[in-house]
Chains A and B, each alone.
Chain A
Amino acid sequence: MIVENTQTQMRKGILEYCILSIIAKGETYASDIIAELKKAQLLVVEGTLYPLLTRLKNNGLLTYNWVESVSGPPRKYYVLSEEGKLVLEQLDKTWQELVYAVQTAIGDRK
């Protein structure tokens, strides 16, 4: 249980960073994000993504455009806002620090 919790915490911590990184590549549709996250084994089900996207959007990090779709309802394509880009830069920096910290911490073990 404790192990599970820690894993979830770790994943949760980087999930938003990953989502922002994926969206930073260009206009992205939710299922594209899902596909990438699944490939990275960060997320299993799609349903959990929508609340996250909505929250990031409400925090002003994301905006979206409606795009007509041939196979169903119009799709929301997400892009980073200016603020989102700034936040992502900060997160990049933090991530580098984290990588360094973790590598230093576990480096002797190997």
Chain B
Amino acid sequence: MNKTIIININGIVFHIEEDAYDILKLYMTDVKRHFSTSADSLEITTDIENRIAEMFNEILANQNKQVIVETDVKLVIEQMGTVEDFEFAENDDRAAGNSTYTYNTERRRLFRDPDDHLVSGVAAGIANYFDIPAVWIRLAFAISFAFAGSGFILYVILWIVIPKAISRADRMAMKGEKQDLKGFKKNFEEEMGMVKENLSNFRQEARPFVYKARDFTGDFFSHLGTFLKGAGGLFVKLLCIVILLTCFSAAIALIVVLIAFLAFGKTDIFHIFPFNIVNYDTNLIFLTGGFLLLAIPLITIILLTIGFLFKNATFNRSIGTTLLCIWLASLGAVVYYGARATANFRYGARLSKTINIKPTTNNTYYLQLNDAKYLTNEDSTRLRIKERFNGMIILDDDFNGNDMDSPDNVHIDVEKSDVAQPVLIESFSARGRNDEDALTNARNVTYRFLQKDSVLKFDRNLERLDNTKWRGQELHMTLKVPLNAKLVIDGKLDRNMNFNLYDCLQNNTPRNPAGSVFVMTMTDGLQCKIDTVAAALKPDSSKTKQPADTTQNKDQ
């Protein structure tokens, strides 16, 4: 007793046994696929279907029966011919190049694999399509889940888009097997083989762990190889291109930086921190060494990637050795000169100098920035100051590049003096390769402090004397003023003062054009002085201020 199915071939109804139906369906799928690239695909397949229906009718009438069985289907297929027969007959058409029947039965189709699935069989299906182990696709998906779940979205889309392999024909198309009776047989044999394999797998499970670990390592690398050859190949190539682009842009940036440094030349760049630490020649070594240190790995990566990408050996042993030698040499140079430069900072020294300030009658001092540019004798000669700028003052503003000479090196602090005489204590510090050197470095600087009646003028920066390298020279000044002394500090000194001038300036409306006003108090040190008259005139502005803001604490 067999189950029968009712089928309809172009309007004619047949009863057919299930096994026979499977074969017929497989055959028709195959035929349709074979002619699918032809323009007359529908007409040809309809002709064939009609003929099959007619042959079935003849068989049923001749044998006086009602149901089509497997042998009938096989007979009809034999008469009609398999796809292989069609291909054979069309052989020379293809050779002549005028054939449209280019369908290759070995071409794989993308299906979800219902036989080998964890979730929906997407990964297994993709693996089948590329003929690689499914585990790599699963791994790739698992990793891509980590990137903001992008892999998850992709998976769901693929789940929806890719059809599930339902029929045997689908499954064979999925695995790229020929879809005729032979392929069918092969499929069956493979299934039997899988059962056997599972049995032997079971035996393997029972093997000791050491063997399993060894097998796993072997499997891992063989699978990795397959992965790199298959779908991984595309991924790796994309990765290679990304690496190449990155390296090229990095190399271009590096070259631009080097050219920029060299083009600035001897005079312009090497007094800028940190190039002012060492002399010109050493700087060149540093620049070249640093450039090679970065460029050689880039070149290596680029060459290796190109070699891998285009499968040619641009990177041979001799190039590799040369590059490595140059790299090591530049590393050595940078380390050696770096260590030598560092040795110049080993010892510190500090010297102190006290300057008396003439007291003023109203106990008010104006602290201002001396914005006349400091010129060395050499500069004066070079610029011919006496001839060209006689009677003029060259101003030192924020934008002439001097600020980059060194890190902020002048700091001003204000303290209360116990005596009526205000003083300025200048404390110079510097570093050197020994005590003596450090002391010399601390001394080989100039700083101008000028007093003109009640105006105290400070330079913005500490100037090193000629031929003195940057050795962390700094100047800490402490201005000691008596009780109730009033200090009006110019906003331009903001960078040098150790406390905030701006907040104090804000608290007084209208602002004092001369700067922030401070008063030396008995207990709290220097305090911002609020102009009570101005505050009373603008009550709403004082009301909006928090009480804490109205008196500015000195930043210690």
Contacts and interface: CB of A to CB of B under 8 A. Distances in A.
Given A47-B80, A72-B12, A12 B92 contact: yes
Nearest to B56: A72
A73 interface: yes
B15 to A, nearest CB: 15
Contact of A71 (B47, B61, B81, B88): B61
Contact of A46 (B43, B79, B92): B79
B116 interface: no
A5 B91 CA distance: 9
B51 A30 contact: yes
A76 B80 CA distance: 17
Interface string B447-484: 00000000000000000000000000000000000000
Interface in B36-95: 38, 40, 43-44, 47-48, 50-51, 53-54, 56-58, 61, 78-82, 85-86, 88-93
A70 B54 CA distance: 10
Contacts of A58: 40
Contact of A47 (B31, B56, B58): B31
A48 B86 contact: yes
Given A31-B51, A47-B80, A73 B86 contact: no
A43 B10 CA distance: 26
Nearest to B35: A51
Contacts of A73: 9-12, 50, 53-54
Contacts of A9: 92
A75 to B, nearest CB: 8
A91 interface: no
B271 to A, nearest CB: 84
A71 B85 CA distance: 27
Interface in A35-71: 43-48, 50-51, 53-55, 58, 69, 71
B38 A71 contact: no
Name the residue among B10, B38, B47 with the largest chain A CB count within 10 angstroms: B47
Contact of B85 (A31, A47, A51, A54): A47
Contacts, number: 83
Contacts of A55: 40
Contacts of A31: 51, 54
B301 to A, nearest CB: 50
A21 B149 CA distance: 68
Nearest to A73: B50
B47 A45 contact: no
Contacts of B10: 73
Contacts of B85: 44-45, 47-48
A45 B57 CA distance: 19
B81 A46 contact: yes
B54 A50 contact: no
Interface string B404-448: 000000000000000000000000000000000000000000000
A31 B52 CA distance: 11
Interface string A7-34: 0110010000000000000000011000
A61 to B, nearest CB: 15
A31 B89 CA distance: 18
Contacts of B82: 45, 47
Name the residue among B35, B43, B89 with the largest chain A CB count within 10 angstroms: B89
A50 B52 CA distance: 12
Contacts of A12: 89, 92-93
Given A47-B82, A54-B44, 6 more contacts: A5-B92, A45-B89, A47-B80, A47-B81, A71-B54, A73-B54
Q: For the complex of A and B, list the 9 residue pairs with the smallest distance between their C-beta atoms, beginning with the closest.
A: A45-B81, A72-B54, A47-B81, A48-B89, A50-B47, A71-B57, A72-B57, A54-B40, A47-B80
Interface of B: 9-12, 31, 35, 38, 40, 43-44, 47-48, 50-51, 53-54, 56-58, 61, 78-82, 85-86, 88-93, 101
Interface of A: 5, 8-9, 12, 30-31, 43-48, 50-51, 53-55, 58, 69, 71-76
21 contacts: A5-B91, A5-B92, A9-B92, A30-B47, A31-B51, A31-B54, A45-B78, A45-B79, A45-B80, A47-B31, A47-B48, A48-B81, A50-B44, A50-B51, A51-B40, A54-B47, A72-B50, A72-B57, A73-B50, A73-B54, A75-B50
